[in-house]
Amino acid sequence: MKYISTRGQAPKINFSDTLITGLASDGGLYLPENYPQLSTESLEKLRDLSYPDLAFAIMKLFIDENDIPHNDLKVIINKTYTKEKFSYTRECQDSKDITPLTKVDNHLYLLSLSNGPTLAFKDIAMQFLGNIFEYLLHKKNKALNILGATSGDTGSAAEYAMIGKKGVNVFMLSPRGKMSPFQTAQMYSLHDNNIFNISIDGFFDDCQDIVKGVSNDLEFKDKNQIGAVNSINWGRIIAQVVYYFKGYFSSTRSSDELIDVTVPSGNFGNICAGHISRMMGLPIRKLIVATNENDVLDEFFKTGAYKPRASDDTYHTSSPSMDISKASNFERFVFDLIDRDPEKLRSLWKKIDQGESFDLSNTGYFGKVSNYGFTSSSSSHQNRLHFIKLLHEKYNLIIDTHTADGFKAAFDHFDQSEEIPMVVLETALPTKFEETVMEAIKLKPPRPDGLSNIEQLPQRSFEIENDINQVKQFIESHS
């Protein structure tokens, strides 16, 4: 299994090198040369596996034995997916699984992904990444300065996964004043010597542009051993693929049934994992992209035009982790959509990198979007309040604002008479977005033990201007 860049001008590499490299040297994102294919019979053999065993069965398809011995991979996975690390936190369930499935209504389900240490779906991939990073760096006798950008959940998930990891420093950029108080406290209350929270005056897209700019400076990247934990890192994507399979098996009885999946999406990483799963043969009929007021992705799937917005045109919303107007992982999907033509991809992303847009509506490519199962919806603050209230009053569930965006999109496309399961992917626990949840249901969502006063803990961050050179200087002086 070799990996290629979407832009076609970087050498093929193995799995472990994609983890350490992050962004390809030509500015593209890594994908496997071919997706592993699973038949109905092969799927059925995976159906009853535990989460760690399922993760091993899926991930080893992407990882050569001579790159990471599969016995070592199994140890890393078993170390990652434990009940102790993913402790049960939802009062409305009694399952002890890593990703328990809740039946909401006939053929309507919620896949709970927020039982990890930072109460968000990012933990599922990031805990794996932390353990495999430590393994590879020890094996290669290397150190790594991880540079990331967060709109709220990636940052804390990465930092909690990397605390105490040997040979790893984390430099996490976040948009100043744009995260919820809980999200901010989760990150800024960490004072460990290898964790550096950098507050940028701007939006997530500004932070992400700096990360890509640093990664594209190959001399600086090599000299300072820069790595990535954002979903541009392929390791994040394959770890997320696993819970699509788990959700499928939990919501069906046999492996010839179809399901629909709704995914709240900002940077397109989570739903990109769904795309990969579907390409592998998982019987997903629809992949429904749920956006908030920052509806660039919804606009593309409705019109064929991809028009990323400038920071000044990006809304600050009550589902802030999706306040993104330039989705990094969208490049991976478009690469498949345009028949993996790297020259065509480069021409499209040259426009994006220059702050422009592209339109596929009058091409044969856009007509193939439905072949990949994609459709979409957008949401507003009032929609979020409505669905948080509806889920609480009708189903006794309290959901966060992003998951509410997901339910809005799900109901836009859900037809119970079809008897096809609709699985909505949870984003985070509602306590992370307490203010809006209380506005909707007049109740304070429950918090796990030990987090009742997290906002009152001492916080530390480093305020830096929206300037790539200042970020470079900070990395050099603190690593």
Q: What angle do CA 374, 178, 455 make, to 5 degrees?
A: 115
Radius of gyration, CA atoms only, the chain = 21
Give the separation between CA 211 and CA 205, rounded to whole angstroms.
Answer: 10
Active-site residue, 368 included? no
Q: How far is Cα 308 from Cα 214, in angstroms, rounded to an integer?
A: 21
Phi-psi region of 265 (alpha: psi -120 to 50; beta: other; left: phi over 0): beta
Q: For residue 12, what are its two tokens?
A: 């093929």
| Residue whose entry in the numeric block shows the structure tokens 């592993």 | 36
Measured over all CA atoms, what is the biggest interatomic distance in the chain, rounded to whole angstroms? 61
Contacts of 19 (CB under 8 A, 6+ apart): 129, 132, 133, 136, 227, 233, 234, 235
Q: Classify 175 as helix, strand or coil.
A: strand
Torsion of CA 393, 394, 399, 403, to 10 degrees: -130
Round to whole Å and give the CA distance between 313 and 88.
39
The one-letter amino acid code at 290 reads A
SS3 of residue 290 by DSSP: strand
Instruction: State how beta strands 108-111 and 101-105 pair.
Output: antiparallel
- Give the Cα-Cα-Cα angle 262, 24, 158 (nearest 5 degrees): 55
Residue among 2, 103, 122, 286 flagged as catalytic: 122
Asked if 272 contacts 244 with a C-beta cutoff of 8 angstroms, the reply is: no
Round to whole Å and give the CA distance between 349 and 333.
Answer: 13
User: Length of the chain, please?
Assistant: 479
Inter-CA distances, 277 with 16, 282, 373, 427, Å: 21, 6, 12, 19
Tokens of 250: 């939990």
Phi, psi of 437 (to 5 degrees): -60, -45
Burial class (CB in 10 A: 0-12, 13-18, 19+), 33: exposed
- Catalytic positions are 122
